[in-house]
Amino acid sequence: MDRHEVDWEPLREAAVRMTERAYAPYSGYPVGVAGLVDDGRVVAGCNVENAGYGVTLCAECGMVSDLVAGGGGRLRAVWCVDGRGATIMPCGRCRQLLSEHGGPECLLQTPEGVLTMREVLPQAFGPQDLYRT
Ligand code: THU
Instruction: Give residue-wise pLDDT tens across range 59-80.
Output: 999 999 999 999 999 999 999 9
Confidence check: pLDDT of 133 > 80 = no
User: What average pLDDT score do residues 103-125 get?
Assistant: 98
pLDDT at 122: 98
E strand spans, the chain = 31-37, 42-46, 75-82, 107-110, 113-116
Cβ neighbours of residue 97 under 8 Å, at least 6 residues apart?
A: 60, 61, 64, 90
DSSP codes, 28-46:
---EEEEEEETTS-EEEEE
Say how far apart CA 89 and CA 60 lie, in whole Å: 11
Active site residue 20: no
- Tell me the pTM: 0.97
User: What average pLDDT score do residues 87-111 get?
Assistant: 98
Ligand 1, CB within 6 Å, residue ranges? 24, 27, 29, 31, 47, 49, 56, 58-60, 90-91, 94
Measured by CA distance, the residue closest to atom 7 of ligand 1 is: 91
| DSSP H or E segment with residue 98 | helix 92-102
Q: Closest ligand 1 atom to the C-alpha of 90?
A: 6
pLDDT at 1: 87
Domains of the chain: 8-130 (3.40.140.10)
Say how far apart CA 102 and CA 75 lie, in whole Å: 4
Q: Closest ligand 1 atom to the C-alpha of 82?
A: 14
Comparing CA positions, the residue from 93, 101, 98, 103 lying closest to residue 79 is 98
Work out the angle between the directed axes of helices 59-69 and 92-102 (0-180°, nearest 10). Answer: 20
